[in-house]
Structure 1
Amino acid sequence: MREITPALAWEQFATRATPRRATNAAGATTWLNWTQYPDHGPDETILGDVSGKRVLELGSGSGSNLAHLATLGARCTGVDIAPSRGAVAEQRWGRGAGLQFVTQDAVDYLRASEDHFDVVISIFGATWFTDPAVLLPLVHQRLAPGGRLVFSHNDQPGNAGERERPIRKWNLAGQRWVDSLLAAGFATATFEIVPPPNADLPGTLLVSATMPSG
């Protein structure tokens, strides 16, 4: 029986993923959305001006969020463990000096990389599916002084890291993320709950942390 590794599990998930719409409700062809609901919640402005900055996305999927930041002048790298995601991203958004996609586990990429980034983002991505005791120190090493980590996932705190599953979630509450980020060496860490469009649905946990300035 074939072992279901995390890479294979994510590849199977990718085959069932619905492609992002060609345009959003405002008619834009690229956009960034932090929540699990279309046309809802904050946009890229919470990152500040990204023009000229190096941005890394952990769990970049089809590349749609990262491609939007590239249109704003960011130099973007997306990392995703599922091979088909990088292929889909390149087919839709292309590849060049300002936008590239890497097929690799996020932890392996961070351990091997010698690059430094101004911004690291993860939207329902690797920060939700990787032990923070492992991931956060590695992100800290790859962020430039004054850099920022911003990530989001469902606001449904619960048990962290079910070991019997190839894909494990760390459903941490906001304050636990803050404590973990500060313990990893970040200078500041905050969180907010983005309310859902319907009260019967879960909200979105949005977490932001900054590096010491120097």
Structure 2
Amino acid sequence: MTDTAIAWDTYSRQRPERRPTNARGETTWFNWTQYADHGPGAELLEAPAGGRILDLGCGKGGNAAHLAALGHCAVGVDVSPKQLAAARERWGQTAGLELHQADAVSFLREDQEGFAAVYSVYGAVWFTDPALLLPAIRERLRPGGWLAFSQRPPVEGCYGCQASYIPRGADEDPLVVKRWDYEPDGWERLLKEHGFTDVTAEVLAAPPGKRTTGTLIVQARA
């Protein structure tokens, strides 16, 4: 197992399971932010009915399962065996859902079918070098398809490749993974440089009564 897979397996053990239902009583739903019952839904993808949609860094599969429940062909990719095991346990019988263990760039380079939309929720777009990932996404997005992703806004002055620390036991050093942080205009510039159009990037404020940290949400068309 790669060091990256070990890191995300460790992270998986620290994450709570998705609730059985959300505030509206739905058993599947789409969530772009770190807050429950907050923010937009799958409509940001503007995917055609039955379209093939790729989740880069699908984790435990809740967002991809929702898209499958809507009738899309939802493809989830993650490097973590434990994340995928949890996804298969809960969502494995969902029609239209595919789950694959792979890193994002390798999967995109090997895919032969293409996608109506690609997305990442605090996932692989945040934790993969955009110089490698964005061209691979652009190559596999069908004309007019949308890339959308969300992540935590950057710390002021800390841009580009940064370190994220995943804690382990009390007597163990944390595991380290790389992430890529940019202000909204930085993501806009990068996406346009790689051939994307109609780029928007903005920070959605946290819901009232929560911490002040919002969610950076980015959309771009192939």
Q: Give the TM-score, by structure 2 length.
A: 0.88
Residues 47 and 116 of structure 2 are in contact (CA less than 8 Å); yes or no, is this contact kept in structure 1?
no
Q: Does 1:134 align with 2:132?
A: yes
Distance between the aligned counterparts of 1:199 and 1:85, measured in 2?
Answer: 27
Unaligned runs of 5+ in 1: none
Q: Which structure has more strand as a fraction of its residues?
A: 2
Q: Match for 1:206: what amino acid?
A: I
Measured against aligned partners, the alpha-carbon deviations of 1:74-114 in whole angstroms (never above 9, x if no partner) come to 10100001011111111111256611100111111112222
Aligned match of 1:188: 198
Aligned match of 2:179: 169
Q: 1:203 aligns with which of 200, 204, 214?
A: 214
Distance between the aligned counterparts of 2:163 and 2:2, measured in 1?
Answer: 13
Q: 1:67 aligns with which of 60, 65, 68?
A: 65
Residues 4 and 166 of structure 1 are in contact (CA less than 8 Å); yes or no, is this contact kept in structure 2?
no
Aligned match of 2:56: 58
Query: Cα distance, 1:160 vs. partner?
Result: 2.5
Query: Cα distance, 1:115 vs. partner?
Result: 2.2
Aligned match of 2:169: none
In structure 2, the CA distance between the partners of 1:169 and 1:49, relative to structure 1 (3 Å rule), is closer
Query: Cα distance, 1:152 vs. partner?
Result: 0.3
Aligned match of 1:15: 13
Distance between the aligned counterparts of 2:196 and 2:47, measured in 1?
Answer: 21
In structure 2, the CA distance between the partners of 1:82 and 1:76, relative to structure 1 (3 Å rule), is same
Residues 163 and 179 of structure 2 are in contact (CA less than 8 Å); yes or no, is this contact kept in structure 1?
no
Measured against aligned partners, the alpha-carbon deviations of 1:90-149 in whole angstroms (never above 9, x if no partner) come to 111125661110011111111222220000010000010111111100000010011110
Between 94-103 and 177-186, report the one with greater CA deviation.
94-103
Unaligned runs of 5+ in 2: 165-174
Distance between the aligned counterparts of 1:16 and 1:142, measured in 2?
Answer: 33
Q: Please give the residue correspondences for 1:42-121 in structure 2 after superposition, counting only pairs within 5 Å.
A: 42-95=40-93, 98-121=96-119
Distance between the aligned counterparts of 2:2 and 2:105, measured in 1?
Answer: 19
Query: Cα distance, 1:48 vs. partner?
Result: 2.8
Distance between the aligned counterparts of 2:2 and 2:72, measured in 1?
Answer: 36
Q: CA RMSD in A?
A: 1.9
